[in-house]
Amino acid sequence: MTIPQKDMTTTSLELISGIQQVGIGVTSAAKAWSWYGHVLGLSTPVFDDIALAKLMTPHTEGVIRERRAILAVNLSGGGGAEIWESRTPAPLPATAPPKLGDLGIFSLKIKCRAVSQWAESQQRPVHTTPAGTPTSWIQDPEGNQIQITEDSSWFRPKGSGLMGGILGVMLGVSDIDCALSLYRDTLGIHHVVYDVTGIFDDLADLPEGHRMYRRVLLRKNQSTVGAFSELYGNIEIELIQALDRVPTHLFAGRSWGDLGYIHLCFDALNMDALRERCTQNGFPFTVDSATTFDMGEAGGRFSYIKDPDGTLIEFVETHKVPIMKKWGWFLDLTKRKNQKPLPKWMISAMGWGKVKPSKSESY
């Protein structure tokens, strides 16, 4: 069954260009970056910043967290990982390991050129998704689930290594039809790859993976606008709804910055228009920096909303980004006259002279 798509003519303006990053709450940013860099190839830092998260108190129970954040990307293509260490207060773990269908971000989707080859090197089993594509699973050292999947959008089609960046997420929801009002109808991730119900072999090895689920995979093809759209590539959001058990929320009793997948962040093309569309569709901004927010080596306007189950969605309209910090080259995107993608050589320059994660930092 395929869900009829809502008429997008009144909301045809493209407002997101890709997944910029997923926030991952960890106990040690240095150790986590070492693993994500050496195992998954997310080794190029866009920024590495220590600061107080003063604007996030609506989602931290009024407490101002001091955090270290590293935004790490894989220049083969895909979104980045914002590796997020809360220094004060200490981050809280979940009371129980995440189970499939629990509400919130259950797993990353990391793009891979050849899943079977990767799985063989990692001694992992290979499964087949309802779309007929190969997939495999791995956990990071803190127990976060990661799905390895193939994709056609690559910034460096002939680049070295099998791995790319973040293609999307698998996200637990209580009602898929309600969730579609945000992810499909508001954000425009409107191509339904599949809408299936049953018990699935590719989920069988996951906690509670033997149960009955409804799954909807949404895709948005690589945008033709946005400075970093060619780096980000396609977007995939898989909504999964448990049908024979009552799920819990992955962040129940905890707040933004605690351990686990804390938010999903999209690259915003026009924050004011995005705010208007989200408000009209029942998803008002809960946080809005309103103007450029300085993140040390980068800067931009950011905002947050909640999906129908309370999962935090971030939007970032990038204003400043370091290209070659060593030589003082920072790109001011507010001075660009259009939303055309940046030249590939300029994005590639982000990796020149950058400090890579240390292998000495390990779990």
- Where are the domains positioned within the chain? 13-351
Q: Is 160 exposed, middle or buried (0-12, 13-18, 19+ CB in 10 A)?
A: exposed
pTM of the model: 0.92
pLDDT of 10 reads 33
Q: What tokens appear for 137 in the block?
A: 């699973």
DSSP 8-state assignment for residue 131: T
Q: What tokens appear for 109 in the block?
A: 């989707």
DSSP 8-state assignment for residue 338: S
The parts of the chain modelled with pLDDT lower than 50 are 1-11
pLDDT of 47 reads 86
Q: Which fold has domain 13-351?
A: 2,3-Dihydroxybiphenyl 1,2-Dioxygenase; domain 1 (3.10.180)
pLDDT of 295 reads 58
pLDDT of 350 reads 79
Q: Is 273 exposed, middle or buried (0-12, 13-18, 19+ CB in 10 A)?
A: middle
Q: What tokens appear for 49 in the block?
A: 């910043």
pLDDT of 298 reads 67
Structure-derived torsion over alpha carbons of residues 239, 194, 284, 259, reported in degrees to the nearest 10: 20
Residue carrying the six token digits 């707040």: 255
